[in-house]
């Protein structure tokens, strides 16, 4: 069952949340100050953290920031008595995934918790598709393109074009085929737009003085090999 850490200094509220979570089948632990909360968050494994904003020792924003330095993915819901845009923004800036304002209905907290846990589970079970060629790699679902360790930022069109090349290694693709695959059949775009975008793409992925990742096949089109 999912393990939830509750970092909240109001004893009655913490007790109430804990009872409700246990009733729902979660495993829980309560920490009543920021420093203990941070240490517990980092030293044990948790599926989600409920984090009060105003805490003794170390405030919730700081706790959140320090958890995020070590763990980018664990879901954190910030709980606060204040509801100002500034609080909400700084809560989310510090790395919280969601935000709930006191007093809240416990059903709402439970619903948000379930939704965060579902999101994490969906991400964890989804297989990421990665295409690679030499030092280039493309993660399809996250749209991340890397050359070695460096992230290359591409426009949507450039990304689509690169994916077509990388999923058709060693196959010569005509301008018409590329146009159809990337721009669609009925766009009425001139085929030389393909040349323009291949040039954009080469500028971003090629090294000077080295042969291009995308080769021109004179009179026909392009090929990645």
Interface mask toward Ca ion for 54-93; x: CB under 5 A: x---------------------------------------
Query: Considering beta carbons, is residue 5 or 179 the nearer one to Ca ion?
Result: 5
End-to-end CA distance of the chain: 49
Residue 68 CB, shortest distance to Ca ion, in Å, is 20
Query: Considering beta carbons, is residue 33 or 206 the nearer one to Ca ion?
Result: 33
The reply on whether position 13 binds Ca ion by CB under 5 A is no
Residues 31, 107, 118, 52: is their CA dihedral positive or negative?
negative
Among 18, 47, 52, 158, binds Ca ion (CB under 5 A): 52
DSSP strand E in the chain: where? 3-7, 27-31, 48-52, 76-80, 98-101, 130-133, 136-139, 144-147, 150-152, 173-174, 214-217, 221-224
Query: Considering beta carbons, is residue 86 or 124 the nearer one to Ca ion?
Result: 86
Maximum alpha-carbon separation in the chain: 77
The reply on whether position 9 binds Ca ion by CB under 5 A is yes
Query: Considering beta carbons, is residue 54 or 172 the nearer one to Ca ion?
Result: 54
Of 1-9, 14-22, 113-121, 196-204, which segment contacts Ca ion by CB under 5 A? 1-9
Of 19-27, 31-39, 48-56, 94-102, which segment contacts Ca ion by CB under 5 A? 48-56
Q: What is the dihedral of CA 198, 204, 208, 209, to 10 degrees?
A: -40
What stretch of H or E contains 105? none
Residues that bind Ca ion (CB under 5 A): 9, 52, 54
């Amino acid at each position: 069952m999912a393990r939830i850490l509750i970092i909240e200094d109001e004893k009655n509220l913490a007790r109430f949340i804990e009872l409700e979570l246990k009733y729902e089948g979660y495993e829980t632990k309560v920490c009543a100050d920021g420093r203990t909360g941070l240490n517990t968050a980092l030293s044990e494994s948790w599926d989600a953290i409920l984090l009060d904003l105003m805490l003794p020792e170390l405030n919730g924003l700081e706790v959140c920031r320090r958890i995020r330095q070590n763990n980018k993915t664990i879901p954190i819901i910030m709980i606060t008595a204040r509801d100002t845009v500034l609080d909400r923004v700084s809560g989310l800036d510090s790395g919280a995934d969601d935000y709930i304002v006191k007093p809240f209905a416990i059903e709402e907290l439970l619903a948000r918790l379930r939704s965060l846990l579902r999101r994490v589970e969906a991400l964890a079970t989804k297989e990421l598709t990665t295409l690679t060629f030499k030092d280039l790699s493309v993660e399809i679902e996250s749209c991340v393109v890397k050359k070695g360790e460096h992230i290359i930022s591409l426009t949507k069109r450039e990304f689509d074009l690169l994916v077509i090349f990388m999923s058709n290694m060693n196959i010569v693709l005509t301008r018409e085929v590329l146009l159809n695959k990337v721009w669609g059949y009925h766009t009425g775009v001139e085929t030389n737009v393909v040349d323009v975008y291949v040039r954009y793409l080469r500028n971003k992925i090629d090294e000077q003085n080295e042969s291009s990742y995308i080769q021109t096949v004179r009179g026909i089109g392009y090929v990645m090999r």
